[in-house]
């Protein structure tokens, strides 16, 4: 069954070839969705969209920290595509800093992309979703929010990702009467470009020792969760944070 047949989904930060956003875009396309990839660079976004299964996918430049850009891209997309059903706020950055190393500009950068971007993109699309009385918003948080730190993110990353959890729940509460759902995904240790090659074999093993399932996650593991939350399979799920971490918090 194609879970997103006749649906249109926007995914931010999905141009990175081995990233979680691209894997989510690919699975959504396999499930019949028309996918819009938004990322910083137009040609990379277009190349990523062209790489998806099926036809009709679009790649556009959009810096999610730029409110005007978010509003104008969404306006244009609604004009060309008609109804938009799903928004995945996946764009995110991290910086491996310790508490006392965080300079004001580090704090701004990490909070801006992760947290401000999630708000701006959602605000741009919510009036449209309200009109249609339907929509699913999926926000990418992290195990770092729940554990107060991860392997790669600093405290500002934990703060931004924890902020996303609060924002998601508040959005879910406010938007539920309008027929719009909002949920967050908390990925654990996932093999992507961020994680590849940055750990010694010993460090990697010690991370894996803390994961009951004994393996790192894959981008496809996260995509599967995003598909569930985007589709009507999760029609009665809102305001939830779904852990995709191999049991790391058990």
Name the residues that contact ligand NAD, by CB under 6 A.
12-13, 15-16, 19-21, 39-40, 63-65, 90-94, 113, 117, 140, 142, 187, 189-190, 192-195
Distance from the first to the final alpha carbon of the chain: 33
- Residue 2 or residue 28: which is nearer to ligand NAD going by CB? 28
- Residue 90 or residue 231: which is nearer to ligand NAD going by CB? 90
| Residue 163: other Cβ atoms inside 10 A | 18
* Token pair belonging to 235: 């029609």
Angle at 228 between CA 192 and CA 75, to 5 degrees: 85
Shortest distance, CB of residue 190 to ligand NAD, whole angstroms? 4
Shortest distance, CB of residue 130 to ligand NAD, whole angstroms? 24
- Residue 234 or residue 245: which is nearer to ligand NAD going by CB? 245
- Residue 130 or residue 169: which is nearer to ligand NAD going by CB? 169
**What is the C-alpha to C-alpha distance for residues 77 and 143, in angstroms, rounded to an integer?**
32
Shortest distance, CB of residue 246 to ligand NAD, whole angstroms? 12
CA atoms within 13 A on the CB side of 147: 20
For the question of residue 157 being annotated catalytic, the response is yes
- Closest among 86, 95, 114, 117 to 183, alpha carbons compared: 86
Identify the H or E element spanning 136.
strand 135-140
Shortest distance, CB of residue 10 to ligand NAD, whole angstroms? 12
The sign of the dihedral angle between the CA atoms of 171, 173, 174, 175 is positive
Q: Which residues are catalytic?
A: 157
């Amino acid at each position: 069954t194609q879970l997103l047949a006749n649906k249109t989904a926007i995914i931010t930060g999905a141009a990175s070839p081995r990233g979680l956003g691209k894997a989510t875009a690919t699975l959504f396309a396999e499930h019949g969705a028309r996918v819009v990839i938004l990322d910083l660079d137009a040609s990379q976004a277009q190349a990523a969209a062209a790489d998806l299964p099926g036809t009709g996918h679009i790649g556009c430049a959009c810096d999610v920290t730029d409110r005007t850009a978010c509003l104008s891209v969404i306006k244009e997309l609604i004009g060309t595509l008609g109804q938009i059903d799903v928004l995945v706020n996946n764009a995110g950055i991290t910086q491996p800093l310790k508490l006392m190393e965080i300079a004001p500009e580090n704090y701004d950068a990490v909070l801006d992309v992760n947290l401000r971007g999630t708000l701006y993109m959602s605000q741009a699309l919510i009036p449209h979703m309200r009109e249609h009385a339907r929509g699913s918003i999926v926000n990418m948080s992290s195990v770092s929010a729940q554990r107060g730190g991860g392997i790669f993110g600093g405290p500002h990353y934990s703060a931004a990702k924890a902020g996303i959890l609060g924002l998601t729940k508040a959005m879910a509460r406010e938007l539920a009467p309008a027929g719009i759902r909002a949920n967050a995904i908390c990925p654990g240790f996932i093999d992507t470009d961020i994680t590849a090659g940055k750990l010694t074999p010993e460090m990697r093993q010690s991370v894996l020792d803390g994961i009951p399932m004994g393996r790192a996650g894959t981008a496809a593991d996260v995509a599967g969760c995003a598909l569930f939350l985007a589709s009507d399979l999760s029609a009665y799920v809102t305001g939830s944070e779904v852990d995709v971490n191999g049991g790391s918090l058990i």
